[in-house]
Chain A
Amino acid sequence: MGQRFVVRVRCGAILCRLFCGMIMGGMGLYGCTPSLPKAQQVTRMALLEPVLHGIALPVNIAPLNFVIQEKGVDYRVAFRGKQGDAVVVSDADGIIRIPLKSWKNLLMKNRDDSVSVNVYVRDDSRGWLQFQTARFFVSSDSIDPYVVYRNIGSNNILWSAMSIEQQSLEDGSMTVIADNKLTRRNCMNCHSFNQNNPEQMLLHLRTPPGGTMVKQGDQLSFFNTQTQSTISAGTYPAWHPSGRFIAFSVNQIHQRFFLQTRKYEVVEDKMSDIVLLDIDTQSMLKSPVLSTDNRENLPSWSPDGKFLYYVLGNPYCESDYRENRYNLMRVAFDENTGLFGAPDTLLHAAAMGKSVSFPDVSPDGQWLLFCMADYGYFTVYNTESDIYLMNLRTRDYHRLDVNSVFVESYPTWSSNGKWLMFVSKRRDNMFSRPWFAHFREGVVSSPFVLPQKDPLFYETCLRNFNRPEFVTGKVNLMPSQVAQLASQKPLDCKVEAPIHVDGVSGASRVMP
């Protein structure tokens, strides 16, 4: 059966678009604003991708460019608030790119109020049609200006290109922080910040070359966190607010691929523990509380540094992946002595046939976001995984309305605690995208997806936005700096004076 490709050269269309683009660009330069047509009313809202109606946007967000998914030959959109002039954008293909300056003015002038979106579509037979008005709310709570994520393809056994990138939430520009093209295509992961601070960052570079990069201001250090006493190098990190300690999980991770259709992968730990890296002394601290026969994982500090939140699973069950479930835990920590208190179970999820992952405490210490799924902790592959919110004072928790029937995972707070971010695969059940929602006193608004300059970006983007983290400013780190650091020999971390631990894994290395 031969593949016969029918050549359909679209050069003409491409040239036409280029020409039209130049004309439209010229119009923009000379300040020609398209006028709004007289139109017939349509009794429904236009289909927009992404959806604008009902969402809340931060006042400093970049233009939420979108595509009008209605058939037509010409498109116009008018954004109106109570204050300021209307912003009118037109496009022959319905691909709406909102000018940055006009958008910023519109949001700034209509803080804590709603903005209407009127969509006009010219139909060949019926002329101009006006759809029902959509509205979004502009919150005066600003969002952190940058998001840092790992740009990675769909997760398989192999990996190839990956990079750590930062995208401005204020203007949509993207810059690369680290790129594995420059580090022999190694795996790089688990970028992490102390309290959203771009000056305190860490990043693992897996072998070869291997080590953990720690950025403190302009100073870059490179550690080898693999020791004789731990089953692996540090994996999932959490930076203590003091900046002195980093809690790491150490994990024996493996992945399996489902035979079932529409279910793809499970990532599991055969063993895991939590250890503490003291950056000042470059030593790994172990605690019998966090290195047991059970699997301690995914550490996360309270903003005051007095508690470590984590998840705890029973010993690994290989025969049935569904039996691997995690409870939500916390343990008190004394920064001065480096000692942990007794663990406290916040949510016994396993007893309910559920599994908790990725806990994250709000900056005011009152709320806790976490994921809950049917099994495991690597919930980015659990379709049923949803985001939950717990009030730490009452320990009441509930499933948030931001969830979809697809994966929601990796929730995190903005530095002011007013916005939350999570990844979702709701568009296609495969590729994770960052979504944002406004938070006020336990109430969460409808979410919106990370804005892109190109409204069609997500249509063909076959990459994942992995582990998105808010940062309060731009990370001043160049890929070449990371590459240079990676070429150096990392400093070996030493292990503090031996502490007796019961665990077969983690802090006491499994001996052959």
Chain B
Amino acid sequence: MGLRFKIPLGAQWVGWIVFIGAIFTWFLWVDVSLWVHHNQPVYYHRSFVDLFSFPGHPVRSLAAMVMQGISGCWDGAVLMSLLMVAWGGAIFFIFRELRVKPWFSYLVVVSVVPIVSAHGKYHYAAELTFQYLFAAWFTALCLFFVRRWHGRCFGLIILVFSLLVYSFAGHPGLFLFVVLLSVWLVASHHIQRLVWMVLPLLLPYMITHLLPHLTIYEAYWGNYMVCVIDSFVDVPWSIKLYPLFLLVLVAVLLGFNTQERLKPIVELLVFVMLFVLVGWFSRSPKQKLSVRIDKLAYEKRWDELLKVVDQFGDVRSRDVQFQVNRALYHKGLLLEGLFYYPQYYGAGGLFLENETKGDIAMSASDLYFDMSFVSAARHWANEAFTDYGPRPRIVRRLIECYKLEGEPALVKKYESLLRLSPFSLLDDSPTYEQAQVGERSVLSSRNEVLRFHQFENQFVATNHPLTNLYYVVNSEPDHRMGVEYLVACHLLSGNLEELVKQLGRLKAVGYSRLPEAVQEAVLVYRQMNPGGAVDLCGFVVEKKVVERFKAFNALAAGGFRKDVASMKRFNGYKGGYLFYLTFYKPK
């Protein structure tokens, strides 16, 4: 009994197609456009001489240019799948003498796995994929000439291709070239020719004499092995050491003496299982969500942002919380909807800057730009520029800020930089006139900005956002965003004494009734300070809020713990301030 599958002719081809399909699906899930958003690859073309100023620069530039052009998940998945096919193809051509071996297909498949899986982390530098790919194809081409000329001029061919690989694909490419070639020489029983591998290994040293700005250390290890802060800092070690992985892989497979071939259907299942396992362990949904939320916030798709977070469920990420709060403000729901999301980070979910770090700099800049707080937005954008260099997103922000500040020479300079990109990066940025009539909450007119920043002896409180908020609301009392963030900040930090002093500000920005969370906070304050009077500035605490407050207290009087079971008992109070104070407020 039981079904008996009979794989049609060309079962291996079916296997390959399924495998490529799996890769495509994987990249579709990863969404390469998120990687592009997060890493902002960009190529600025200065001159062809500049292109060769550093070994590996041509391919890195090409990679940046290609990746820069990806705008959606589909084109990203197609491109990356093609690259992986090209990668497998290169391995196939390099070791084609070995294709009669039963494990050959495993070699091809397994060789792409680390690179494919590394893309599950959005910090991975795609430049390395391109550098390895170029190196692999150069190796295949090199071996084509070796085979064609039957090993004659072997040293010369090696030297020429080493030079090509090193110039175009840099030191990672060169190491892969050496490894692939060495493995091929061993596998094809030309061990005595391994001595020629000295040539590519000496090449970086020789290049340092041609390029005086290149140190020997850099020539062999490049930037990303040395520095702490660099675009390559987050490259997984599995990829940095990829050539060694390949060496071990081939060595292990060479060690198999079995001539028995697995049945194609089993082989196919092994491939798919292998891929599913690798994919499962290298996926990072939380990181993906974080990048996706950042992208949606950047594109100001607030509704979609909130929808995505709602769908994801319980999110414990300060970055995400920060963007959710921004989205709530832009939807006009900050004070009403604040506690419908678990504010695990308290006031830390409103601002990210308790210390100056590059990875929060652009988020901080975005927030202050929303507030028309141009000097702070520009300051943080400059901090981001220092850490991440001329990424288009950062440069565009600087252009916007300097336009508002009235620095035409600087605007021109940054625009000139963006014009060096083969892709136009300027068309969507607002012109000076657009900036002047932009939506108030997003972009104040220049005159307003100047009025806002009129005080001479005042400084941006770089790591004290509350000080900045007070500056905003004191200098512009009808600044809605400033007031709402200030009230939210006091609510989240539980500083009710300060909160009750700010109620009048809500009136100034057009509130006709106090948000319910604020009403609850007033009741809490009154309970904690029985003798203290609160000036409600004409607002009232509504009856239904008082009743709910009493009901909550009565329920709480029965005792509770900060666990899931207790939270369930208080489910009816979710979205309220008391629920936050009881279950979420950080110490």
| A5-B425, A259-B471 known; A158-B459 Cβ under 8 A | no
Q: Is the CB of B228 within 8 A of A11?
A: no
Digitize B355-370: 1 where CB-to-A-CB distance is under 8 Å, 0 elsewhere. 0111001000000000
Whether B340 is near chain A, meaning CB under 8 Å from some CB there, is: no
Tell me which residues from 176 to 223 in chain A have a Cβ below 8 Å from any Cβ of chain B: 176, 179, 181-182, 184-185
Residue of B nearest to A175 (CB): B212
Digitize B412-441: 1 where CB-to-A-CB distance is under 8 Å, 0 elsewhere. 111011001011110110000000000000
Task: Give Cα distance in the complex from A184 to B361, angstroms.
Answer: 22
Task: Give Cα distance in the complex from A174 to B211, angstroms.
Answer: 11
Whether B507 is near chain A, meaning CB under 8 Å from some CB there, is: no
Q: Is the CB of A5 within 8 A of B215?
A: no
Q: Is the CB of B386 within 8 A of A158?
A: yes
Chain A residues with a Cβ closer than 8 Å to the other chain, count: 54
Q: Is the CB of B416 within 8 A of A260?
A: no
Whether A82 is near chain B, meaning CB under 8 Å from some CB there, is: no
Q: Is the CB of A261 within 8 A of B427?
A: no
| Stretch of B93-101, B260-268, B450-458 that contacts chain A | B450-458
Task: Give Cα distance in the complex from A266 to B300, angstroms.
Answer: 34
Name the prevailing secondary structure of the B interface residues: loop
Digitize B364-394: 1 where CB-to-A-CB distance is under 8 Å, 0 elsewhere. 0000000000111001001101110110000
Q: Is the CB of B423 within 8 A of A160?
A: no
Q: Is the CB of A258 within 8 A of B375?
A: yes
Q: Which of B48, B300, B425 contacts A18 (CB 8 A)?
A: B48
Whether B516 is near chain A, meaning CB under 8 Å from some CB there, is: no
Q: Is the CB of A462 within 8 A of B417?
A: yes
Q: Is the CB of B422 within 8 A of A11?
A: yes
Q: Is the CB of A182 within 8 A of B356?
A: no
Interface centre among A174, A181, A479 (most CB of B within 10 A): A181
Whether A509 is near chain B, meaning CB under 8 Å from some CB there, is: no
Whether A460 is near chain B, meaning CB under 8 Å from some CB there, is: yes
Digitize A461-504: 1 where CB-to-B-CB distance is under 8 Å, 0 elsewhere. 01000000000000000111001000000000000000000000
Q: Which of A181, A261, A320, A431 contacts B457 (CB 8 A)?
A: A320
| A5-B423, A154-B382, A428-B407 known; A462-B453 Cβ under 8 A | no
Q: Is the CB of A259 within 8 A of B459?
A: yes
Interface centre among B71, B374, B471 (most CB of A within 10 A): B71
Whether B575 is near chain A, meaning CB under 8 Å from some CB there, is: no
Q: Is the CB of B375 within 8 A of A260?
A: yes
Interface centre among A6, A322, A429, A460 (most CB of B within 10 A): A460
Tell me which residues from 353 to 409 in chain A have a Cβ below 8 Å from any Cβ of chain B: none
Interface centre among A14, A156, A259, A460 (most CB of B within 10 A): A259
Q: Is the CB of B227 within 8 A of A8?
A: no
Least Cβ–Cβ distance between A16 and chain B, in angstroms: 12
| A5-B423, A181-B223, A256-B459 known; A156-B410 Cβ under 8 A | no
Residue of B nearest to A260 (CB): B453
Q: Is the CB of B215 within 8 A of A182?
A: yes
| A3-B428, A5-B424, A185-B228 known; A257-B300 Cβ under 8 A | no
Tell me which residues from 126 to 149 in chain A have a Cβ below 8 Å from any Cβ of chain B: none
Task: Give Cα distance in the complex from A158 to B361, angstroms.
Answer: 10
Q: Which of A2, A8, A257, A462 contacts B460 (CB 8 A)?
A: A257
Digitize B456-490: 1 where CB-to-A-CB distance is under 8 Å, 0 elsewhere. 11111010000000010000000000000000000
Whether B563 is near chain A, meaning CB under 8 Å from some CB there, is: no
Q: Is the CB of B217 within 8 A of A257?
A: no
| A175-B212, A462-B417 known; A261-B386 Cβ under 8 A | no
Least Cβ–Cβ distance between A438 and chain B, in angstroms: 26
Task: Give Cα distance in the complex from A8 to B44, angstroms.
Answer: 14
Task: Give Cα distance in the complex from A4 to B404, angstroms.
Answer: 23
Q: Which of A154, A174, A257, A478 contacts B462 (CB 8 A)?
A: A257
Q: Is the CB of B460 within 8 A of A261?
A: no
Whether A288 is near chain B, meaning CB under 8 Å from some CB there, is: no
Question: Chain B, interface size: which category?
Answer: 35 or more
Digitize A294-334: 1 where CB-to-B-CB distance is under 8 Å, 0 elsewhere. 00000000000000000000000001111000000000000
Which residues of B are found within 8 Å of A342, using beta-carbon distances?
none
Task: Give Cα distance in the complex from A18 to B457, angstroms.
Answer: 53
Tell me which residues from 3 to 33 in chain A have a Cβ below 8 Å from any Cβ of chain B: 3-11, 14, 18, 21
Least Cβ–Cβ distance between A179 and chain B, in angstroms: 7
Q: Is the CB of A1 within 8 A of B410?
A: no
Q: Which of A175, A257, A454 contacts B375 (CB 8 A)?
A: A257
Q: Which of A8, A14, A185, A429 contacts B423 (CB 8 A)?
A: A8
Q: Is the CB of A5 within 8 A of B449?
A: no
Q: Is the CB of B229 within 8 A of A160?
A: yes
Task: Give Cα distance in the complex from A460 to B410, angstroms.
Answer: 10
Q: Which of B217, B301, B409, B422 contacts A429 (CB 8 A)?
A: B409
Task: Give Cα distance in the complex from A156 to B48, angstroms.
Answer: 32
Which residues of B are found within 8 Å of A427, using beta-carbon distances?
409
Task: Give Cα distance in the complex from A89 to B427, angstroms.
Answer: 35
Whether B86 is near chain A, meaning CB under 8 Å from some CB there, is: no
| A261-B449, A454-B47 known; A158-B228 Cβ under 8 A | no
Q: Is the CB of B428 within 8 A of A5?
A: yes
Task: Give Cα distance in the complex from A496 to B376, angstroms.
Answer: 46
Whether A262 is near chain B, meaning CB under 8 Å from some CB there, is: yes
Which residues of B are found within 8 Å of A483, using beta-carbon distances?
215, 217
Digitize B40-76: 1 where CB-to-A-CB distance is under 8 Å, 0 elsewhere. 0000111110000000000000000000010100000
| A256-B459, A460-B413, A462-B390 known; A261-B406 Cβ under 8 A | yes
Least Cβ–Cβ distance between B428 and chain A, in angstroms: 5
Q: Is the CB of A480 within 8 A of B217?
A: yes
Digitize A148-169: 1 where CB-to-B-CB distance is under 8 Å, 0 elsewhere. 0000011011111000000000
Q: Is the CB of B386 within 8 A of A460?
A: no
| A153-B386, A158-B387, A261-B450 known; A3-B405 Cβ under 8 A | no
Least Cβ–Cβ distance between A2 and chain B, in angstroms: 5
Whether B164 is near chain A, meaning CB under 8 Å from some CB there, is: no
Q: Which of A258, A430, A478 contacts B215 (CB 8 A)?
A: A478
Which residues of B are found within 8 Å of A181, using beta-carbon distances?
218, 223, 226-227
Q: Which of B385, B405, B412 contacts A262 (CB 8 A)?
A: B405
Least Cβ–Cβ distance between B36 and chain A, in angstroms: 11
Task: Give Cα distance in the complex from A483 to B456, angstroms.
Answer: 43
Whether A459 is near chain B, meaning CB under 8 Å from some CB there, is: yes
Q: Is the CB of A156 within 8 A of B382?
A: yes
Least Cβ–Cβ distance between A174 and chain B, in angstroms: 8
Interface centre among A9, A18, A156 (most CB of B within 10 A): A156
| A261-B374, A460-B420 known; A1-B406 Cβ under 8 A | no
Q: Is the CB of B406 within 8 A of A429?
A: no
Digitize B195-221: 1 where CB-to-A-CB distance is under 8 Å, 0 elsewhere. 000000000000000001101111000
Which residues of A are found within 8 Å of B69, using beta-carbon distances?
7
Task: Give Cα distance in the complex from A320 to B383, angstroms.
Answer: 25
Task: Give Cα distance in the complex from A157 to B414, angstroms.
Answer: 21
Which residues of A are found within 8 Å of B374, using beta-carbon distances?
261
Least Cβ–Cβ distance between A67 and chain B, in angstroms: 12
Task: Give Cα distance in the complex from A201 to B351, angstroms.
Answer: 45
Known: A11-B422, A158-B356. 12 other contacts (CB 8 A): A2-B301, A5-B425, A7-B69, A8-B424, A156-B379, A257-B375, A257-B379, A257-B459, A260-B375, A260-B456, A261-B406, A462-B414
Between-chain CB contacts (< 8 Å), 12 pairs: A8-B423, A10-B422, A182-B226, A185-B228, A258-B458, A258-B459, A261-B450, A320-B457, A427-B409, A428-B410, A479-B215, A483-B217
**Which residues in B have some Cβ–Cβ distance to A below 8 Å?**
44-48, 69, 71, 212-213, 215-218, 223, 226-229, 298-301, 356-358, 361, 374-376, 379, 382-383, 385-387, 389-390, 404-407, 409-410, 412-414, 416-417, 420, 422-425, 427-428, 449-450, 453-460, 462, 471
9 cross-chain pairs, A with B, having the tightest CB-CB distances, nearest first: A428-B409, A261-B405, A259-B458, A256-B459, A157-B356, A8-B424, A257-B460, A158-B386, A480-B215
**Which residues in A have some Cβ–Cβ distance to B below 8 Å?**
1-11, 14, 18, 21, 153-154, 156-160, 174-176, 179, 181-182, 184-185, 256-262, 266, 319-322, 427-431, 454, 459-460, 462, 478-480, 483
